[in-house]
Amino acid sequence: MKVIEKDEKVKIRLKINGKDYETEVEPRKLLVHVLRDLGFTSVHVGCDTSNCGACTVVMNGKSVKSCTVLAIQADGSEILTVEGLSKDGKLHPIQEAFWDKHALQCGYCTPGMIMQSYWLLSENPSPSEDEIREGLAGNLCRCTGYQNIIEAVKEASQKLKGH
């Protein structure tokens, strides 16, 4: 059993958007802050009680609120953030749909919202409207009133199925 003292730092490895990173963290440090320190500032902090989902990333294939994971718990995991979605400068269909449908205003919830949508569509490629609403209920947006986000997810689901 490995024991880490209070002020001790520990080395962790993360694979973020396909690339390997190694960093030293205190055990108490949250994954969201480590991701941000590593330059993935798309991952936002909107609350301190795990409600808003602005920090959502896909970790080992699951959507997680990275403010609610200790960085050391994430040691060895694969993480996808919105920075990793577009390929060769081409927007991912979900990103494109968010743009087309005007599904963002201030953009602060947007990276988390897109990652949650990404995960939702990978679980359920043809969600009904109610399934989309339920599927995004962990992600708060103060600007859009949600309808355009729901429309964007619908459009993205159509496009992705076409592929």
Contacts to ligand FES from residues 123-162, by CB under 6 A? 141-144
80's contact among other proteins, ligand FES, none, with CB below 5 to 8 A by partner kind, is none
Q: To the nearest whole angstrom, how small is the minimum distance from the Cβ of residue 50 to other proteins?
A: 8
Q: Of the candidates 9, 70, 108, 154, which one interacts with ligand FES according to CB under 6 A?
A: 108
State the residues that interact with other proteins by CB under 8 A. 26, 28-29, 33, 36, 40-49, 51-52, 54, 81-83, 85-86, 91, 95, 98-100, 102, 104-111, 114, 132-134, 136-150
- For residue 70, state whether it binds ligand FES (rule: CB under 6 A): no
82's contact among other proteins, ligand FES, none, with CB below 5 to 8 A by partner kind, is other proteins
Q: To the nearest whole angstrom, how small is the minimum distance from the Cβ of residue 112 to ligand FES?
A: 8
- Parallel, antiparallel, or unpaired: how do β-strands 19-25 and 10-16 relate? antiparallel
Q: To the nearest whole angstrom, how small is the minimum distance from the Cβ of residue 75 to other proteins?
A: 19
What is the C-alpha to C-alpha distance for residues 33 and 122, in angstroms, rounded to an integer? Answer: 26
What is the C-alpha to C-alpha distance for residues 12 and 24, in angstroms, rounded to an integer? Answer: 6
Instruction: Provide the b/e sequence for 60-99 (b: ≥16 CB within 10 Å).
Output: eeebbbbbebbbbebeebebbbbebbeeeeeebbbbbbbe
Instruction: Provide the b/e sequence for 110-128 (b: ≥16 CB within 10 Å).
Output: bbbbbbbbbbbbeeeeebe
